Amino acid sequence: MAFSSELLQKAVDQFSTLPGIGKKSALRMALFILKQPKENVELFASSLVNLSRNVQHCSECNMISDSPVCPICSDRRRNRGIICVVESIRDVLSIENTQTYNGLYHVLGGIISPMDGVGPSDLPIAELEKRIEGGEVKEVVLALSTSMEGETTSYFIYNRLKKYDIKITAIARGVAFGDDLEYTDELTLAKSIENRQPFNI
Amino acid sequence: MAFSSELLQKAVDQFSTLPGIGKKSALRMALFILKQPKENVELFASSLVNLSRNVQHCSECNMISDSPVCPICSDRRRNRGIICVVESIRDVLSIENTQTYNGLYHVLGGIISPMDGVGPSDLPIAELEKRIEGGEVKEVVLALSTSMEGETTSYFIYNRLKKYDIKITAIARGVAFGDDLEYTDELTLAKSIENRQPFNI
């Protein structure tokens, strides 16, 4: 599509670099920007630049944070005896959203994936060990995905941590709420039968 | 959803003001921004600010443009005897995309809509009349939507222009390519039978 304005063209090109945004949505966004008061657009632009320039990673758990130690790690009400290992920032947000977990996190920022050139040494596993060696940690919960890469990473971390006197657990796999048994894959269904729980209301 | 970073929170809030973007997509975009090199993010931000600050409206047709007169109006190869009246910038882009129209445009920037407080005097209709009075224009094509507001606006413009010695036309309505007759609304189907054309391959 040819535009009558280079400025519009550039904004559309930029919007279409965003994940899940095609040319049509990008145009819609650029035209939306065009209708906004200049101050709002400047606020938008500066929020992106600020995020990119000023955000830090927590020196303990690797979560993004505005300060050297993130609000979760510096919250004294949280259970410091349990660390949940996740792949990404987004996983932390999802787990926090459930409001059922009160421990700390360790964000790997990736998983072992030879295809993408990510090996064990690229992940902050030594940092996780150092946290365990601090002596406060009683349990590590592995909450990685069930993809081949996720399982490999879980297994690798398990092997590295089994020398410590701590409990190593993994999040439960099973049939999700609202899912039909009929459409659940065999592996998940088998796991959910194997790990059946006492019934309670 | 609570974030561990105010900077992230602000960027997500900004992204979710965009049309069609909910909280989850906004988070995805903010995390994408976080992964980009700082220079790319600054380029993104400045493209938005530039668009907002520097874009102009063509003094003839009201289309957005980087210069006082847009590339379409200043293109001497285009037929200056015909003006297509459209609601928005996006409509111009859509029509240009078909590569079948070689005339000029007149962008209203809205349609008459009492509900939204838009009256005839808010639209650049006097400017359209001035262009016609220039003497070069032979035909005005009304290409507004078929909503009640669109029809009202078309009718209003028709009434204002009928005193001039020009042809006033409207784009054809009919069954779209690929549409089933079965699922076409009666009004459209009736119109497309009424306006039937000699068959040619």
CA-to-CA distance for A163 and B138, rounded, in angstroms? 88
Provide the mean pLDDT of chain B. Answer: 90
pLDDT band at A196 (very low <50, low <70, confident <90, very high): confident
Q: Is B42 on the interface with A (CB under 8 A)?
A: yes
Q: What is the pLDDT of residues B139-197, one digit of tens each?
A: 999 999 888 899 999 999 999 999 999 999 988 888 888 888 888 888 888 888 888 87
Calculate helix-pair angle for A125-133, A148-161, nearest 10 degrees: 30
A173: tokens are: 């796999």
CA distance B154 to B143: 8
- B5 contacts on A by Cβ (under 8 Å): 55, 64-66, 70
* Identity of residue B11: A
Cβ distance B70 to A28 less than 8 Å, yes or no, reads no
Measured CA distances, A112 to A146, A147, A155, A162, B99 (Å): 13, 11, 10, 19, 50
Query: Do residues A83 and A106 lie in contact, with contact meaning Cβ atoms separated by under 8 Å?
Result: yes
The tens digit of pLDDT for each residue in B1-35 reads 567 789 999 999 999 999 999 998 999 999 999 98
Residue B176 per-residue DSSP state: P
- Whether the model clears a pTM of 0.80, i.e. scores above it, the answer is no
- The answer on pLDDT for B63 being more than 60 is yes
Residues A123/A112, Cβ–Cβ less than 8 Å: yes
Nearest CA among A69, A74, A76, A78 for reference residue A96: A78
Query: What is the crossing angle of helices B38-54 and A6-15, to 10°?
Result: 140
Please name the residues between 57 and 96 in chain A that touch chain B, using a CB distance below 8 Å. Answer: 58, 63-66, 70-72, 88-90, 92-93, 96
Q: How many CB atoms lie within 10 A of CB B100?
A: 7
A24 close contact with B: CB closer than 8 A:
no
Looking at residue B189, what is its pLDDT? 84
Place of tokens 């309670």: A200
- 3-state class of A176 per DSSP? coil
* Percent of chain B whose pLDDT exceeds 70: 98
Query: What is the amino acid identity at position A72?
Result: I
Candidates B34, B88, B92; nearest CB to A64: B34
User: Do the chains contact at B64 and A92, CB–CB below 8 Å?
Assistant: no
Helix (H, G, I), strand (E, B) or coil at A84: strand
Chain A residue numbers with beta carbons less than 8 Å from the beta carbon of B4 are: 58, 63-65, 70-72, 92
Give dist(CA A52, CA A43) in Å, integer. 14
β-bridge pairing A82-86 and A104-107: parallel
B99 touches chain A (CB under 8 A): no
User: What is the distance in angstroms between the Cα of B51 and the nearest Cα belonging to chain A?
Assistant: 5
Which 8-state DSSP code applies to residue B169? E
Q: How far is CA A4 from CA A27, A154, B49, in A?
A: 13, 53, 18
CATH topology of domain B57-170: Dna Topoisomerase Vi A Subunit; Chain: A, domain 2 (3.40.1360)
Cβ separation B92–A31 shorter than 8 A: no
Residue A156, token pair as written in the block: 């690798």
Torsion angles phi and psi, residue A195, rounded to 5: -95, 30
Yes or no, beta carbons of A55 and B5 under 8 Å apart:
yes
- Using a CB-CB cut-off of 8 Å, the residues of chain B touching A54 are 7
State ipTM.
Answer: 0.79
Contacts of B43 in chain A (CB under 8 A): 14
| B39 CA: distance to closest CA in chain A (Å) | 9
B33–A52 CB contact, under 8 Å: yes
pLDDT tens-place string over residues A11-26: 999 999 999 999 989 9
CATH for B6-54 (1.10.10.60, 1.10.8.420, 3.40.50.280, 3.40.1190.20): 1.10.8.420
Interface membership of B195 toward A (CB under 8 Å): no
Between B11, B19, B92, which is nearest A29 by CB?
A: B19
Yes or no: domain A77-170 corresponds to CATH 3.40.1360.10: yes
Q: How far is B85 from chain A (nearest CA, A)?
A: 17
- Any idea where the domains of chain B sit in the sequence? 6-54, 57-170
Q: What is the pLDDT of residue A1?
A: 57
